[in-house]
Amino acid sequence: MIKKSMEMPKQRVEERIRNFNEVALGYSEDQAVMEASRCLQCPKPLCVAGCPVEVDIPSFVRDIKERRFDEAIGKVREKNSLPAITGRVCPQEEQCQKTCVMGKTGEPISIGRLERFVADHELQRGVKVPPKPRPNGRGVAVVGSGPAGLTAAADLAKLGYEVTVFEALHEAGGVLMYGIPEFRLPKRIVQSEVDYVKNLGVTVKTDSLIGKLYTVEELFEKGFEAVFIGTGAGLPSFLGVPRENLCGVYSANEFLIRVNLMRAYRFPEYDTPVWVGRKVAVIGAGNVAMDSARCALRLGAEEVWIVYRRSRQEAPARLEEMENAEEEGVKFKFLTNPIGFLGDKYGWVCGMECISMRLGEPDESGRRRPIPIEGSEFTMDVDTVVVAVGQSPNPMISRTTKGLQTTRWGSVVVEEGTGKTSIEGVYAGGDIVSGAATVISAMGSGKNAARAIHEYLSNKKVR
């Protein structure tokens, strides 16, 4: 029995910090087959229970082992419409791989890498257009084309519904497009997964901000019989400290939208600029912070610091992402909290006032609460700051939809397991319900909502 999992080749550090190409290069066929061969094919697989979209993991892994790659991707796609994406960005170590029996004595099967392998294998050879089901003539509107919306749309289309996805930005994909950088999730991958969903018969309308162009009520008037809201957590949080509006201080959303969606790293070929100085501080230690820090490095910063008020143990980023960032030269300043910014005479940020922290008792999140150490104030010289301390649910729909019940944090209140909201025929899922979470949990809730919408419409008379 091989206890160690097969390493996945990566771009060399010296090279990759100078480009935006994908860092992880993916398994070769032989590597994938070898890794798949380690799977014990448990009669009662624990991995499947760890997957929010219930992919039949042992079956597709066995197909890989036996080199039936087309069958393998078919099995994955039965449950997961975006495998090339989840194979790259899922926190498998917290999900399927966490419960893998192999993990007890050695390393778990690299399920994510195998999923990515079969998905890429399929993309390379050209994705087979799935057979279109007979349309049932009933329309469902999906608001937002991120992972929750795309999953709900795909599952509903497979059931024969006429699905229209409304996307506010100019490209479909939501956070997959504007948030996660090219070097972690190439945009052509997102585009081909979106194309797959379109090939199922789904219509995607970009440039359509629901709440403004049409209200949810108007979508029903237009003839849609159900609406799924998957508008995500797009509202950036700021620190609320003095002089946060100096030039050179970005929200992570702004920074990443410029770089990813608008391709600012290719300015002036692309028209959108982004400005990165010599010394960058990224506030926060989640995946978004790691993404921002690694973008800043690639844009030519000499020094990039992750500044986080708690310690390494509490950092919410995936371990793999922190390791990648560290490998590339991102530095970490833990137990440090910004308390204000300093500006030069032109209104640009030139320094960040900080205070050292220590950890106290655990708070409601279970993590130890950071407490400022009196008299420990100090100043960091920085000329660019990216504030990556979280996003909250997008308020556009709740502000413009009468009767939609929300929490005081602005998330939409839904019934567990179905995504049913306080309005009949309106369902919601993804970050708009949970607050900022993972791609795969959003997909899971999109899947549940699709199931619930189907049940609802099956019991409702055809108009």
**Which of 247, 342, 413, 437 touches other proteins by CB under 8 A?**
247
The residue (of 394 and 406) whose beta carbon lies closer to other proteins is 394
User: What track of x and - describes contact with other proteins for positions 104 through 133 (by CB under 8 A)?
Assistant: ------------------------------
The residue (of 127 and 235) whose beta carbon lies closer to other proteins is 235
Which DSSP category does 413 fall into? P
Closest approach of other proteins to the CB of residue 187, in Å: 13
* From 164-172, 191-199, 278-286, 361-369, span contacting other proteins (CB under 8 A): 164-172
Closest CA to 285 of 335, 234, 240, 242: 335
The residue with tokens 């900080």 is 354
Q: Is 213 in the site for other proteins (CB under 8 A)?
A: yes
The residue (of 263 and 369) whose beta carbon lies closer to other proteins is 263
User: What track of x and - describes contact with other proteins for positions 249 through 288 (by CB under 8 A)?
Assistant: -xx-xx--xx---xx---xxxxxxx-x-------------
Q: Is 168 in the site for other proteins (CB under 8 A)?
A: yes
Scored b (16 or more CB within 10 A) or e, 36-47 reads bebbeeeeebeb
Two structure tokens written together for 265 = 């790293």
Task: Give the pairing of strands 368-372 and 349-362.
Answer: antiparallel
**Which of 132, 212, 278, 331 touches other proteins by CB under 8 A?**
212
- Taking the C-alpha atoms of residue 194 and residue 145, their distance in angstroms, rounded to an integer, is 9
Q: Strand 303-307: give its sheet, edge to edge.
A: 249-251, 384-387, 279-283, 303-307, 331-333
* From 3-11, 85-93, 208-216, 310-318, span contacting other proteins (CB under 8 A): 208-216
The residue (of 291 and 328) whose beta carbon lies closer to other proteins is 291
Closest approach of other proteins to the CB of residue 416, in Å: 28
Element holding 106 (H helix, E strand): none
Closest approach of other proteins to the CB of residue 383, in Å: 13
> Long-range contacts of range 207-212, CB-CB < 8 Å, 24 or more positions apart?
207/167, 207/168, 207/169, 207/170, 208/166, 208/167, 208/168, 209/168, 209/396, 210/143, 210/166, 210/168, 210/396, 210/397, 211/396, 211/397, 211/399, 211/400, 211/401, 212/396, 212/400
Q: What is the CB-side half-sphere exposure of residue 234 using CA atoms within 13 A?
A: 20
Sign of the C-alpha dihedral computed for residues 193, 296, 252 and 26 taken in this order = positive
Q: How many chain residues bind other proteins (CB under 8 A)?
A: 41
- Taking the C-alpha atoms of residue 236 and residue 292, their distance in angstroms, rounded to an integer, is 14
Q: What is the CB-side half-sphere exposure of residue 140 using CA atoms within 13 A?
A: 37
**Which of 36, 47, 157, 169 touches other proteins by CB under 8 A?**
169
**Which of 34, 46, 123, 235 touches other proteins by CB under 8 A?**
235
Two structure tokens written together for 435 = 């607050």
Closest CA to 6 of 26, 18, 15, 17: 26
**Which of 395, 422, 435, 451 touches other proteins by CB under 8 A?**
395
Q: Is 403 in the site for other proteins (CB under 8 A)?
A: no
Q: Is 367 in the site for other proteins (CB under 8 A)?
A: no
* From 16-24, 163-171, 294-302, 411-419, span contacting other proteins (CB under 8 A): 163-171
Residues 8-27 that bind other proteins (CB under 8 A): none
Q: Is 409 in the site for other proteins (CB under 8 A)?
A: no
- CA 283-285-288 angle, to 5 degrees, is 85
Q: What share of the chain is helix, strand, coil (3-state, %, to 5)?
A: 35, 20, 45
Closest approach of other proteins to the CB of residue 404, in Å: 17
**Which of 3, 18, 125, 170 touches other proteins by CB under 8 A?**
170
Residues 325-364 that bind other proteins (CB under 8 A): 346-347
Closest approach of other proteins to the CB of residue 213, in Å: 6
250 in Cβ contact with 353 (< 8 Å): no
Q: 143: which strand partners? A: 166, 229
* From 59-67, 237-245, 376-384, 441-449, span contacting other proteins (CB under 8 A): 237-245
Residues that bind other proteins (CB under 8 A): 168-170, 178, 206-209, 212-214, 234-236, 238, 240, 244-245, 247-248, 250-251, 253-254, 257-258, 262-263, 267-273, 275, 346-347, 394-396
